[in-house]
Amino acid sequence: MIRNFVGIQTLGATSMPAFGTTLVGPSSLATDRHTRNTQPSSQDSLSLIPVTSAAGFRIGDRVLVAPKANYKFGGQQDQGFIQQIDFVNNIVTVQGLLRAHANAEYLVLNEDAIQVIISTLSAANPLYVGNQSTVAAGDGSVFDVLNQPSGNKHQSGPGAKTGEYWIAGTAADQFVSYFICL
């Protein structure tokens, strides 16, 4: 199944996940009311996460949550599964997270994919595709450069993980990202 994520995305001044969004406030972490535990095996370990946009996410999705600096090799991300989505208020309920998260952290889709496709729509300069949040021209995480014109695209091979796709370019450049599910 081909799955589009969000539709048209617009780059800001810094790198961003191809399959993710930013927290717009702190998350709340509910503890298991019986054991006061936040481990994933607990009954209730649910987090309410306010995000810029809940579009692109689905119930049951595996997601990562962490500060931008942690989306690199050896970086620690919290992982859970989406249990509920409030598209009106852009609040995502995730089960399995181990700690509360702060404003400006990232919620990133982390699904297995047969193939990931990222296509430019408008780009004043090259778009850099990498597997770490540090992606930029000359960065070691870059594995593809999408040059103008629009429609230039990256296609991954099998075994891709959506959480490992970060994009950098010029503010206001636009792209679409989608993947083929396993």
Indicate the CATH number of 20-109 among 2.40.30.270, 3.40.50.1980, 2.170.120.12, 3.40.50.300: 2.40.30.270
pLDDT confidence of residue 148: 67
**Distance between CA 5 and CA 23 in Å, rounded?**
17
pLDDT confidence of residue 44: 60
Q: List the chain pLDDT tens, one digit each, 182 residues.
A: 889 898 899 999 899 999 999 999 999 887 766 777 666 566 567 899 999 999 999 999 999 999 999 999 889 999 999 999 999 999 999 998 888 899 999 999 999 999 999 998 887 889 999 999 999 999 999 999 998 666 678 888 778 899 999 999 988 899 999 999 87
Indicate the CATH number of 2-17+112-181 among 3.30.450, 2.60.120, 3.90.930, 2.30.30: 2.60.120
Residue recorded with tokens 């889709």: 109
CA distances from 83 to 66, 86, 92, 96, 119 (A): 18, 10, 8, 10, 30
pLDDT confidence of residue 1: 83
> Which stretches of 53-148 are DSSP H helices?
none
3-state SS class at 164 = helix
Cα angle at 87 between 156 and 119, to 5 degrees?
A: 25
Segments making up each domain of the chain, as ranges: 2-17+112-181, 20-109
3-state SS class at 65 = strand
Give the length of the chain. Answer: 182
pLDDT confidence of residue 20: 97
pLDDT confidence of residue 38: 65
